[in-house]
Structure 1
Amino acid sequence: MDTEGNGCEAMVRRGRSGCTCVEWGFLSPVSTEELSVLGIEENRSKVILTVDGLSDRIGAGHQADLTFHAVHKEQVLQVPSAAIVPDTDGDAVYVKKGSRAILTSVETGEQSDGRTEIVSGLEEGQEIITNPYDVDISDGKRVK
């Protein structure tokens, strides 16, 4: 079964597991800027795809919520995207060292579903501040 619709550009970069897409029938290389019902500007692109096993569960006139995975990786170091802060050299996170928050530069990779891959700059097991904006953290500030 082919499914056609307009996809929000942000949705194309995020997702969860579900039905498996067999092939992309069409993914528009051009997006249009539209206002959402909340008044937020979104880039939308036309998408046509074929989905495994969907035809026996949905018919003409039915609606389906589609989520797209651009990348699937396993065994990666990832942090909540909200933990990433801008730094003079790119991106950084606050690492808890002792009782202090230390601004640490990181190289980020893929982003999906509110999480960001850390390619370098952190090691597994290091404790980070996941909400630096909410708790007003700065480099060297004492933390609990």
Structure 2
Amino acid sequence: MTTNNDEKYILPYGKLIRVMVDLAGKTARQVSREIGRSDSYITSVIYNSAPPNTELLVEIARACGFELTLTGHGHTFEIPTADELKQLYDGSRLAITTITDPDGTKSIEVEWKKLEDIKKEIAERKKHATDRDKRLQELKSKKR
């Protein structure tokens, strides 16, 4: 099978995993051992109709030199392994903010933030909204 970076494939999970193992130049047994499973694990996944869970699929892909990503709407997100998530976590949370520009264009900002910083931002937004509501109420009262 010849591949290049521009080709896209839609394959059942078993075939996809078989291709990743083959392209990595490894045996199913080697990959099974690298992800800490029994020697026959990858072979059973290849021939089983049920897909592995996302965490295992990420580990299999990484063991074969691939990354699992989500792509769409002009963005690409890499799906980390469970171990990578633990390293990233360290008291942080993934903060996802939708931003609407004045021209109506929407974009997404994704970053890791400390939980206490997120709580402060939420408190500030609530305070700002409360202050705004009070000013509006005062304006309405003056008009009467």
Give the TM-score normalised by structure 1.
0.28
Computing the radius of gyration from Cα coordinates, the structure with the larger value is 2
Q: Which has the higher strand share?
A: 1
Instruction: Give the helix-richer structure, 1 or 2.
Output: 2
TM-score, normalized by length of structure 2? 0.28
